[in-house]
Structure 1
Amino acid sequence: MKILIVNAGSSSLKFKLFEMPNEDVLAAGEIERLNMPGSKVKIKYGDGQVFKDQQDNISYERSAGIMLNRLKDLNVIDHLGDIKLVAHRVVAGANDFDKVTKITPKTLRRIVELGEIAPIHNPSEAKYIDIVTSILPEATQYAVFDSAFFHDVPAMNGQYGIPHELTEKFGIQRYGEHGINHTYITQEAMKMLGTNQADIVTLHLGSGASVAAERDGKCYDTSMGYTPMNGLLMGTRAGDVDPALVPYLMKRMGASADEVIEMFNERSGMLGVSGISSDMRDLEESSDPQAKLALDMFLNRVIKYASSYITELDGVDAIVFSGGIGEHDEWVRSEVCKKLRWFGVELDEEKNKAQEPGDLSSTDSKVKVFLIPADEEIAMVRDVYAYQK
């Protein structure tokens, strides 16, 4: 059975086509820098073959067309109808969805409605579902929710200090994001540690970024909140801001609340601070002092959350780097670990420069430092295949 996994992020589209139940990867692709100059397409398929292309400002709609049509054009499949199941990563499921869910018109409407929690993600994910439905009308589609992992967060960490009746009435709590990958890298870290009883801090660092604390495989705390805007400084998202800034900026800018939130989500973060780019690579190459400030602010927020979670857990057995920045930026890993030395974290700089997945900690480190590439797709395909059997 061929199952297509669609993982649409805020600035990239990842996808993998699996042959199940053997978990054979028939093709794996990524389209990055969506809606930016220099959008890049890369698809691995066959016996080590690679297709590459570069275009400017590939949109969400165009990326979906590239994904599906190239699988046929590259002879990965004979017909689009060979794809029987499609699973989509969906960020916000709130309390409505805590497991894999078959997509129906009712489910899709609710995903769209939950866009008020994840305005950057849910609407575009719903759009991909619509596009895939139009191209693959016979395929069964499922949603796998990022927020499901955070249902275990204890109330002291998951709830806000607002009147309890509002928490209950409106379902206001921390829903988190990147839960599929936090789940996967936590499970992989426990395998590497050789135990299911471990305290771990996982760092999913990319254009969207979050830190989570895990105890014995369950989430204990997370940097993201009711929406994915909260927490770390991100590519275009502001992260933690004083809520009083919303009415203040509404008055000063003559803007609506929605317009201020849109600014916090899409024109802030490293892009807003630097005035140059939301891409870490562009900022590291720049000599502009605002680019340096954006980098410093990003690192500062990562270190604050990681160190606070290590303290909250009374120490940890491991910290894990993942995500586009976490996996590919040796400088970020080095700078974060330097600040965590107080907790017994010691990075082997030679291993760090090699950037090979695995244990990057030095021999005398009291805490393991793991580099575990994000593989939300394998986690998703296992869940969906098990669910539909």
Structure 2
Amino acid sequence: MSHVLTLNAGSSSLKFGFFRLNGTVEDPDPRIVGSIERIGAGERAHIKAKRQDGFVLIDQEFGRNHVPDHDTALARAVEFLKEQRPQAKLDAVGHRVVHGGPDYDEPVELTQTVMDRLAQFEPLAPLHQPHNLAGARAALKLFPEAVQLACFDTAFHRNHPWVNDTFAIPRKYYDQGVRRYGFHGLSYQYISETLHQIAPHLHMGRTVVAHLGNGASMCGLMGGRSVASTMGFSALDGLPMGTRCGQLDPGVLLYMLMNEGMTPAEIEDELYRKSGLLGLSGLSNDMRTLEAAGTEEARQAIDYFVFRIRRELGGLVAALGGISTMVFCGGIGENSALIREKVCAGMGWIGMELDETRNMRNERIISTDFSRVRILIIPTDEEIVIARAARDMLARRAEAAA
């Protein structure tokens, strides 16, 4: 029996999945899925994992500083999985890699050449790419016989119209790879495929997906394909996030550089790790903490987050030429009734009417029966997208060897 391990490193989390393959067509069977959240120095990280039937295998908080970084989180996850499945043989390890640059628009086997090339994109995604590649290097050592493959967050957006793919700077930079890549592509791919399965008529229409979490972005889909995304060249653009600033006037960077005397490394740290909800609230990057805090600063951080979502929603609707479906996903999008309510409030002018009761219950459809725009919550699943890619790669290798 073939098995696949998936690793998905976020900016403050590590999701992992252990899948059994049931042939070359059927969906991989998730035997264990889990995550380690709140990774970082000074935090009390938390590991939770469950079996396919929902039985919780572990739900445990680590001591403060026990999981200071993603390398430690990976070691904890692998240790746990080996305890649960000591005899299982891994045939493939699939990695979420945030940035594929201009080179990679589909899953690829991780060779040393590919790893070296992906390392060159680390400055474009410093919160993620180093962790993604560190996890890949560690997995190569832990599972040397397994096929290792990378699935890219940027790949889903590679066919953007040119106007949504470029910046108004000299063309030489576009040729050098300075362009709007978009991110969270594995999540958007899952939402697109799920919509196609559960509501083909909605899939063929104009859809805005809001992937809201510690990392946050939005994407406009036309017939299931990405047309426009709020993220651009790096994972800083668009919506404010847990610790990232989102949309920013480039003049602010010049001010920091020229007037504050900050170094590029200091600016990077400020924008990637000290901004967003954390910077605005002065309290936390976690929406659950902010909603419970009740301070003026926490309220203002939430208000700004919602304001930017609504502003980007209007822009995406314009890019699509209308909207038929709105989908919320991601940790905040799936779990925060307050944020969904605030985003949809007063949006009747584009046909969105939220049903308050359905929203509070976290139902699949949270729009009213009379809403012209269907509003849904679809829990995203980047791990199954990675597992499917691993299944397909193993099948191709077996076919080539036959």
Q: Which amino acid aligns with 1:85?
A: A
Instruction: Please state how far the C-alpha of 1:45 moved relative to its aligned partner.
Output: 2.5
CA deviations on 1:220-253 (whole Å, 9 max, x unpaired) are: 1000010000000100000011111112112333
Instruction: Please state how far the C-alpha of 1:354 moved relative to its aligned partner.
Output: 1.0
The answer for the alignment partner of 1:383 in structure 2 is 389
Q: Secondary structure at the match of 2:34?
A: strand
In 1, Cα distance between the equivalents of 2:52 and 2:380? Answer: 22
Instruction: Please state how far the C-alpha of 1:39 moved relative to its aligned partner.
Output: 1.1
Kept in 2: contact 1:89–1:125 (CA 8 A): yes
The answer for the alignment partner of 2:332 in structure 1 is 325
Q: Does 1:245 align with 2:257?
A: no
Aligned-pair identity in percent equals 33
The answer for the alignment partner of 2:399 in structure 1 is none
Q: How does 1:103-122 map to 2 (within 5 A)?
A: 103-122=110-129
The answer for the alignment partner of 1:335 in structure 2 is 342
In 2, Cα distance between the equivalents of 1:42 and 1:70? Answer: 10
Kept in 2: contact 1:348–1:360 (CA 8 A): yes
The answer for the alignment partner of 1:25 in structure 2 is 30
CA deviations on 1:349-369 (whole Å, 9 max, x unpaired) are: 11111113x221110000110
The answer for the alignment partner of 2:278 in structure 1 is 271
Q: Secondary structure at the match of 1:253?
A: coil
Instruction: Please state how far the C-alpha of 1:46 moved relative to its aligned partner.
Output: 6.6
Q: Which of residues 78, 87, 92 is equivalent to 2:87?
A: 78
In 2, Cα distance between the equivalents of 1:192 and 1:366? Answer: 18
CA deviations on 1:86-115 (whole Å, 9 max, x unpaired) are: 000011001111111000111111111101
Residue segments in structure 2 that go unaligned for 5+ positions in a row? 396-402
Q: Which of residues 300, 303, 312 is equivalent to 1:305?
A: 312
The answer for the alignment partner of 1:140 in structure 2 is 147
The answer for the alignment partner of 2:75 in structure 1 is 65
Q: How does 1:143-154 map to 2 (within 5 A)?
A: 143-154=150-161
In 2, Cα distance between the equivalents of 1:16 and 1:51? Answer: 14
The answer for the alignment partner of 2:193 in structure 1 is 187
Deviates more, 1:41-50 or 1:106-115: 41-50
Deviates more, 1:144-153 or 1:108-117: 108-117
The answer for the alignment partner of 2:360 in structure 1 is 353
CA deviations on 1:128-179 (whole Å, 9 max, x unpaired) are: 11111222222221000010011111011111111122212x1111111100
CA deviations on 1:284-313 (whole Å, 9 max, x unpaired) are: 111221111111110011111112211322
Q: How does 1:160-171 map to 2 (within 5 A)?
A: 160-168=167-175, 170-171=176-177
Instruction: Please state how far the C-alpha of 1:197 moved relative to its aligned partner.
Output: 2.0
Q: Which of residues 41, 46, 58 is equivalent to 1:40?
A: 46
| Two-structure CA RMSD over aligned residues (Å) | 1.4
Kept in 1: contact 2:71–2:131 (CA 8 A): no
Q: How does 1:256-267 map to 2 (within 5 A)?
A: 256-267=263-274
Q: Secondary structure at the match of 1:363?
A: coil
| TM-score (norm: length of structure 2) | 0.92
CA deviations on 1:13-68 (whole Å, 9 max, x unpaired) are: 11111101352211001111111522110011275242111112312111111111
Kept in 2: contact 1:211–1:305 (CA 8 A): yes
Instruction: Please state how far the C-alpha of 1:202 moved relative to its aligned partner.
Output: 0.4
In 1, Cα distance between the equivalents of 2:32 and 2:233? Answer: 35
Q: Which amino acid aligns with 2:187?
A: N
CA deviations on 1:227-281 (whole Å, 9 max, x unpaired) are: 0000001000000111111121123332212321221011111111111111111
